[in-house]
Amino acid sequence: MAEVPYFIDHEAAQRIAAASPILLATEQVELDAAHGRVLSHDLASKVDDPPFDNSAMDGFAFIHNDSLEPPATLTIIQTIQAGDANPAQNLSSGQATRIMTGAPMPLGATSILPIERCEVNDDGTEVTLLEQGRPHFIRKRGENLRQGETNLTQGTTLTPAKVGLCATMGWPTVPVYKKARVAIISTGDELKFPGEPLEAHQIYESNSFGLASLVQWMGHEAVRYQAVADSMDSLRQALNTATEECDLVLTSGGVSMGDWDYVRKIMEEEGDVHYWRVKIRPGSPPLFGLWNGTPLFGLPGNPASSHVVFRVLVAPYLRACTAGGGPKEHRLRVQLADRLKGDDTCLSLRRIRIDTTGDHPVAYSTGPQGSGNLNSVAQADGLTLLSPGQASNKGDWCDAILL
């Protein structure tokens, strides 16, 4: 495997993996099921919104010039409610229309005064405007959306407001990428299902649960397989099944240099490795390649590492497969309140808790940062992006990814 890129930086690793994307089909989903999905096509509005000039307030509509010298008394000629089907009468000078929020403006009216700035006489025939009108309380046709204009582009993740906007644009269903089916296979003779009795040499298997949650957080479907023992045969069988059933495979464990690191071995001997080892800490062992033509990330077994590698390598890959969709990577510049360990060769992704209550964000270590300590991730709301050689003493500043 001499020609396989080895111990590369994470940007190079991202590029290599992105060259073997999952090609996701698309489907139409109803708006009720659209939250969190990623648009597979641009979406243009079918209508102007608002479709007609209307009032932003409950109050009175009139000709603005009639209100220049308040108090001004006008004759009430009609009442219009939102949804009234009958066209309103045109309005002339000296006249006012009682109007409700969302009701179409009568022709000729150029201003609104909210009800609380008006006085109506006892028999409801006249209104006295106590102040000048407010032309800006007219919501103009098309001020929110223009018909035919693309308002949501391919790759947009549908947040609650964006789902609402699809409805405003007139779309009852929307085109989205199908969710990727992502296989998750933990490997290791020492792994036991959580809750089973542990013998002295065993630990609870946690990576598949954490990784499945990360896959779901990205908006895809996790297919968690039973943990596999450290043997070429059981691994081969598991990889064959997973690649038949899924679009992408994530394995955990068995990619380092040890004699029992069978994921690396089987990928070298029978698969197709595109890179191995990445300059990040924790998490330098990962590999990426193809098994039976299906993309596969071999993630490290250490639980903190597998999480970090997912965030740095798998999440960007999945985003690239959906034109940038899925939760975004948000960054923040933080000042370190604790000394953190950097590295001369690797990008250091230390787990931090970020306090944003002061005048700038301050980052604390979440505790023992060994790659086996999942608690350091569980308590974290950020990962440092300490470049090789970057100072990381108390008081130094660095970029961080928000978790």
Complex with ligand AMP: residue 77 or 212, whichever CB lies closer: 212
Residue 155, interface with ligand AMP (CB under 6 A)? no
Residue 129, interface with ligand AMP (CB under 6 A)? no
Q: Which residue in 50, 155, 286, 301 binds ligand AMP (CB under 6 A)? A: 301
Indicate which of ligand AMP, Mg ion, none lies near residue 203 (CB less than 5 to 8 Å, by partner kind). ligand AMP
Whether the CB-CB separation of 103 and 84 falls below 8 Å is answered with: yes
Residue 289 is classified by DSSP as E
Angstrom CA distances, 78 to 44, 88, 361, stand at 37, 8, 57
Q: Which residue in 73, 206, 375, 390 binds ligand AMP (CB under 6 A)? A: 206
Residue 303, interface with ligand AMP (CB under 6 A)? yes
Q: Which residue in 118, 129, 152, 191 binds ligand AMP (CB under 6 A)? A: 191
Nearest approach, Cβ of residue 319 and Mg ion (Å): 29
Tell me how far apart the alpha carbons of residues 266 and 78 are, in angstroms, rounded to a whole number. Answer: 81
Torsion of CA 213, 215, 220, 223, to 10 degrees: -80
Residue 212, interface with ligand AMP (CB under 6 A)? no
Query: At CA 228, angle to CA 222 and CA 232, rounded to 5?
Result: 125
Residue 254, interface with ligand AMP (CB under 6 A)? yes
**# of chain residues touching ligand AMP (CB under 6 A):** 19
User: Three-state DSSP class for 123?
Assistant: coil
Angstrom CA distances, 152 to 11, 39, 46, 379, stand at 28, 8, 12, 35
Complex with ligand AMP: residue 112 or 235, whichever CB lies closer: 235
Piece in contact with ligand AMP (CB under 6 A), picked from 24-32, 124-132, 185-193, 344-352: 185-193
Complex with Mg ion: residue 106 or 188, whichever CB lies closer: 188
Complex with ligand AMP: residue 100 or 212, whichever CB lies closer: 212
Tell me how far apart the alpha carbons of residues 393 and 354 are, in angstroms, rounded to a whole number. Answer: 16
Altogether, the residues listed in the chain come to a count of 403
Tell me how far apart the alpha carbons of residues 281 and 391 are, in angstroms, rounded to a whole number. Answer: 15
Site residues (CB under 6 A) for ligand AMP, limited to 354-373: 372
What is the x/- site pattern for ligand AMP, positions 319-358, by CB under 6 A? ----------------------------------------
Q: What burial class does residue 184 get, using C-beta atoms within 10 Å of its C-beta: 0-12 exposed, 13-18 middle, 19+ buried?
A: buried
Nearest approach, Cβ of residue 189 and ligand AMP (Å): 9
Whether the CB-CB separation of 254 and 192 falls below 8 Å is answered with: no
Residue 382, interface with ligand AMP (CB under 6 A)? no
Residue 283, interface with ligand AMP (CB under 6 A)? no
Whether the CB-CB separation of 375 and 366 falls below 8 Å is answered with: yes
Residues that bind ligand AMP (CB under 6 A): 186, 188, 190-191, 203, 205-208, 252-254, 256, 258, 300-303, 372
